[in-house]
Amino acid sequence: MARCTVVIILLLLSISLEAQSRKTRKAYDAFESGEYYEAIDLFKDAYTRTSERREKAELNYMVAECYRLTNDPRNAESWFKRIAGKEYARPEATLMFAESLRKNGKYEEAIEAYEEYRKMVPADPRADMGIRSCELAMEWMAAPESYQVEDMRDLNSRNSDYSPVYARDDYGMVYITSSRDEATGKSSHGATGENFADIFESRLDKKDKWSTPVPVEGLNTEFEDGTPSFTPDFREIYYTRCELGKRDNKGCVIYHARLDGEKWGQPQKLDLLADSLVAAHPAISPDRLSLYFVSQLPDGYGGKDIYVTRRESTSSAWLKPQNLGPSINTRGDELFPVVRSNGTLYFSSNGHVGMGGLDIYKAIEQPDGSFVIENMRYPVNTFADDFGITFQGDQEKGLFSSARKGRGNDEIYSFEMPPLRFSVTGLVKDEKSGEPLGGAVVQLIASDGNTLRTETADGGEFRFMLQPDVDYIFLTSLRGYLNGKEKETTRGLDRSREFLTTIVMTPIDKPVELPNILYDFNRWDLRPESMVSLDKLVETLNDNPNITIELMSHTDSRDTEEYNMELSQKRAQSVVTYLIGKGIDPDRLTARGYGESSPRVVDSETAAAYTFLRERECLQNRVRLAKRVTLLKQGAPA
């Protein structure tokens, strides 16, 4: 009897293990078929039914991976965290834990996880790329781009809405891809759990309000239809159709249709690849001779890549597709290509340095056929998936898709770069006293030909509005002062800015010292470092054509009085000679040497500038740099 009991127990255990094995196989089958949403519960069930630690770790990893692939980074983070760095866990669990943290915007924690993975697999460049991505993401969020981003509530539903594209040249109609309840197909997508998506349209009314999206007639089927792209005349459309179903994955292909009057004609499949291969996310170029799309072929770089097929004319056949190469494609996924009206390519990727998930990139083609890639940065990109961008012609405004709200579904957002605004606020003050100068005339001279004029207020202030990509000169004039001048430019600036400038004006009733006019001992030849100060004097003379100047030179008390007088005269004359060589009229210049007759006394300002001097000390043989300019008025300043 006891022997019989043992046999029955063993039989029941065998049946239980066999059932567990079948459930596990069913989970892996669903995963391999891309039915990630269904596989989650199957893997969880298998996980709870086993106590073997190695198997439990692997099943935990698979649950986390399913959450990652269904774009649920919060649950993915939670499940990867259970096993990251633990016994029996794959090293990739730590990497995917770091990726999930980054996709949830937890950049500091993600860096720590990437560093742990780098210790495990030092040769894998994804750790360093992940760390760099987190560092840049924090920098970009601290100094965001000027784009204004808004949720397009009228276009969004409780399901996924994505890949918007304008459908008219006035941008008053938009096509979107959506899995909302009104979609034609009633089956659910195995990877997302949502309805099969369809192409919907919405129109802008007279109150600038978008209508409720409705299915586009003639394009949608019971399968997955979406990611449309229009020719420039909006008379032709390219889009993706994926014939997906439970255990029946026939793949994705690209369809093309033409408008017949106001309705779409019968869509035709493009035979770009063999029937067993996927072609999706089409983007037609403005000249209609290049078609970009996404596939995963043997010549790729790891994940999904962007390819291009070309034709000689709009009536010619499409040629063999070519991979866009490693400057675009990575071991990650490159998706949702878009070609602007100016021919520039945009796409989304999770393989380039980015903020997390899919980021939107701009690809600038080089003469050798390679591309320079630019991340569009925050706030267009975030830690979540951002993709499927479209522009209003050449304007820096349009629509794109994002999962930034963290609910797992995609939504449509608008973006716009506001017009650049530049202004300058200035202060005019006395160079000697530092006091503001009211009533000074300020003239703005712009490189685009515009000229403006104003006067400073009692506090010395003035203000002008400026234009983009223009050089400006600000000239000030006031009786009793030399004309003042400052420069600013808005060239190359891609952010609005308010300039602050101070213009100092030199009074002409007192001598003006030229700093750093240097000579070697017992010499009168100008040293090279003197040229900077003298070139500024040349500029001052050119800005004040109605003045003449006397250049006064001094020496210390060494040697005889006669010799010092001769030396100072030669030094003053060397300056005059230099100024004449710069185009200054000799009649405006007088050289006069004073020898040792009036040594300079160190004031507080000089003592602060030269710490080896003491206030009220006479500058004799210690410093032989001083040169004075007396400004003699010859009529009112210009």
Q: What is the pLDDT of residues 289-341, one digit of tens each?
A: 999 999 999 999 989 999 999 999 999 999 999 999 999 999 999 999 999 99
d(CA 624, CA 627): 9
Q: At 611, which helix (H) or strand (E)?
A: none
pLDDT of residue 74: 94
Residues 100, 64: Cα–Cα separation, whole Å: 10
Helix/strand/coil for 596: coil
CB 480, CB 508: distance < 8 Å: yes
Left if phi > 0, otherwise alpha if psi is -120 to 50, otherwise beta: which for 316?
beta
User: Residue 614's pLDDT is what?
Assistant: 64
CA 6 to CA 553: how far, in whole Å?
119
Say how far apart CA 193 and CA 255 lie, in whole Å.
Answer: 25
Pairing of strands 497-505, 422-430: parallel
Distances (CA, A) of 190 to 1, 66, 195, 278, 597: 51, 11, 9, 17, 99
For residue 590, is pLDDT > 80? no
Q: Does the pLDDT value for residue 17 go beyond 90?
A: no
* pLDDT given at position 201: 98
What whole-number distance in Å separates Cα of residue 381 and Cα of residue 359?
Answer: 6
Q: Per residue in 219-252, pLDDT tens?
A: 999 999 999 999 999 999 999 999 865 445 568 9
Asked whether the predicted pLDDT for residue 264 surpasses 90, the reply is yes
Of 309 and 576, which is predicted with more confidence?
309
Residue 172 reports pLDDT greater than 90: yes
Whether residue 599 has pLDDT greater than 70: no
Strands 224-230 and 214-215: unpaired
Contact 487, 501 (CB under 8 A): no
pTM, two decimals, is: 0.75
Question: Minimal CA–CA distance to 592: which of 619, 570, 559, 623?
Answer: 570
Terminal-residue alpha carbon distance, the chain: 124
Least confident of 65-74, 287-296, 543-552: 543-552
Tokens of 328: 């675009």
Report whether 173 contacts 179 (CB < 8 A): no
Dmax over CA atoms of the chain, in Å, equals 138
Over 50: is that where the pLDDT of 413 sits? yes
Tell me the three-class secondary structure of 264-325, residue by residue. Answer: ECCCEECCCCCCCCCCEEEEECCCCCEEEEEECCCCCCCCCEEEEEECCCCCCCCCCCEECC
pLDDT at residue 563 is higher than 80:
no
Q: What does the DSSP assignment read for 435-467?
A: -B-TT-EEEEEETTS-EEEEE--TTSEEEEEE-
Residues 400-412: what's their mean pLDDT? 88
pLDDT at 442: 97
Give the Cα separation of 408 and 71 in Å (integer).
6
pLDDT at residue 589 in the model: 81
Cβ–Cβ under 8 Å, residues 432 and 395: no
- Beta-bridge partner residues of 263: 260
Residue 196 near residue 185 (C-beta atoms within 8 A): yes
Confidence of residue 564 (pLDDT cuts 50, 70, 90): confident
Tokens representing residue 603 in the block? 């004031």
Q: For 324, list phi and psi in degrees, rounded to 5.
A: -70, -10
Query: Which domains does the chain show, CATH number per domain?
Result: 22-142 (1.25.40.10), 148-416 (2.120.10.30), 422-505 (2.60.40.1120), 512-633 (3.30.1330.60)
Task: Check if the beta carbon of residue 330 is closer than 8 Å to that of residue 303.
Answer: yes
pLDDT surpasses 50 at 36: yes
Confidence of residue 18 (pLDDT cuts 50, 70, 90): low
Q: Which two tokens stand for residue 83?
A: 């096993």
Alpha carbons within 13 angstroms on the beta-carbon side of residue 283 total: 27
Work out the angle at residue 13's Cα, subtended by the Cα atoms of residues 12 and 18, and round it to the nearest 5 degrees.
100
User: What pLDDT is attached to residue 518?
Assistant: 61
Average pLDDT, the chain: 86
